[in-house]
Amino acid sequence: MPIYEYIASDPEKGCRSCRNGFELRRPADREPLEVCPLCKSPVKKVISKINTPKITKPMSVTDAKKAGFTILEKRCDGNYEKL
Ligand SMILES: [Zn+2]
């Protein structure tokens, strides 16, 4: 059974569960859940994490160097120093 993630469509009105989002195991052929089972506030389905591209963390200096980038850091005197 797939797990769906839901979150309150109006976070102001939801309960503790749906305000932060909750997961629900539900048969795929079942109609989508429209209200929170706890507080009956309208909820919307969160697009599955699997389908969302992973947020790439900012490249660190080390990673950048490994990838062949030249890191230049601006010094207070206005010059750039090659790291
Ligand atoms: Zn709720």
Using the mean position of ligand 1's atoms as its centre, give its distance from the Cα of residue 64 in Å: 44
Residue pLDDT, tens place only, 12-61: 999 999 999 999 888 878 888 999 999 999 999 987 655 555 556 666 77
Using the mean position of ligand 1's atoms as its centre, give its distance from the Cα of residue 12 in Å: 10
The stretch 77-81 carries a mean pLDDT of 74
Q: What token pair was written down for 26?
A: 């539900």
* Per-residue pLDDT at 40: 95
Q: Which residues lie at CB < 5 A from ion ligand 1?
A: 14-15, 18, 36, 38-39, 41
Higher pLDDT, 70 or 17: 17
| Separation CA 35–CA 17 (nearest Å) | 12
* Per-residue pLDDT at 78: 74
